Amino acid sequence: MGRGLLSIGMLPSGSRETPISGGTPAGLSDAEIMLRAKAGDDSAFSYLVEKYRRPMVGFMYRTCRNAAVAEELAQEVFLRVYRSRAGYEASAKFTTWLYRIATNLAVNHARDTRHERPENTVSIDEPDEDTGSTMDLADGTLTAEQAILRRERMQAIRDRVQALPEKQRMAVLMHKYQQMDYRQIAQVLHLSESATKSLLFRAYETLREQLKQFI
């Protein structure tokens, strides 16, 4: 599967693609669309790739802080989703299943590359993966000094989040940046909701203490 999968939702060569009725999955949940993909409707899978490509690249970018690696990891996530489609069951939200695959991949990648030096470092001027804007394009009402402090704060947050213990880091990324609720995060991490709340509480307390100079 080439990079086209990620850019335009293309499928492996030889796959069958039949259009979703009307060209759009109006009224269908993501789980129902994935069930169509499971049944052989590859255009349904293409729709899900298009819908979640950007959030997935953003999630992976935050786990590795490397744009090229984030693209590759996101592509691998969708490849695994496609290969696992026959075993999909709509017992949970599609995003829960998707992020469980993504989290496992991100954790394994982090462990495998723990002692490697990044090929390219992340600049505070690097385009933000969610907005497409650069961190130095501050609000026009900010002074130069305020803009510098803002960039320093953003970089400090990134660094402290990266330094959190593995499960805390993943929970924060899903909760803060992917807007996932406690129940979803609990299902992804195979924890109870109470354990997830406790995990996030400890993570945010750590971040507040380490970032108090910026608060």
Q: What is the DSSP string of 102-155?
A: HHHHHHHHHHHTTTSPPSSPPPTTSBPTTTS-BTT---TTS-HHHHHHHHHHHH
* pLDDT at residue 150 in the model: 77
> What band does 58 get if pLDDT is binned at 50, 70 and 90?
very high
More reliable by pLDDT, 77 or 155? 77
More reliable by pLDDT, 150 or 205? 205
> What band does 8 get if pLDDT is binned at 50, 70 and 90?
very low
Q: For 86-101, what is the mean pLDDT?
A: 90
Checking if the pLDDT of 66 tops 70, the result is yes
- Which pTM does this prediction carry? 0.71
Domain with CATH 1.10.10.10 in the chain: 136-215
Checking if the pLDDT of 171 tops 50, the result is yes
Checking if the pLDDT of 93 tops 50, the result is yes
* pLDDT at residue 61 in the model: 92
Q: For 145-170, what is the mean pLDDT?
A: 85
* pLDDT at residue 25 in the model: 60
C-alpha to C-alpha distance for 195 and 180, rounded to whole angstroms: 15
Give start and end residues of each alpha helix (H) in the chain: 4-8, 30-38, 42-64, 67-83, 94-112, 144-163, 166-172, 182-189, 193-210
Least confident of 4-8, 50-54, 78-82: 4-8
> Any idea which architecture 1-120 has in CATH?
Orthogonal Bundle (1.10)
- Dig out the tokens for 189 from the structure: 């991490």
Q: For 34-38, what is the mean pLDDT?
A: 94
What is the average pLDDT score of the chain? 79
Tell me: the pLDDT tens digits for 104-142?
Answer: 999 998 888 765 544 443 332 333 444 333 333 345 577
Q: Give the list of residues 6+ apart from residue 182 with CB closer than 8 angstroms, or none.
A: 175, 193, 196, 197, 200
Which long-range contacts does 198-207 make (Cβ < 8 Å, 24+ apart)? 199/167, 199/168, 199/171, 200/168, 200/171, 200/172, 200/175, 202/168, 203/164, 203/168, 203/169, 203/171, 203/172, 204/172, 206/160, 206/164, 206/168, 207/157, 207/160, 207/161, 207/164, 207/172
> Any idea which architecture 136-215 has in CATH?
Orthogonal Bundle (1.10)
Domain with CATH 1.10.1740.10 in the chain: 1-120
Residue with tokens 């609990």: 186
C-alpha to C-alpha distance for 135 and 154, rounded to whole angstroms: 8
* pLDDT at residue 74 in the model: 96
Checking if the pLDDT of 183 tops 50, the result is yes
* pLDDT at residue 12 in the model: 47
Tell me: the pLDDT tens digits for 47-57?
Answer: 999 999 999 99
> What band does 65 get if pLDDT is binned at 50, 70 and 90?
confident
Burial class (CB in 10 A: 0-12, 13-18, 19+), 134: middle
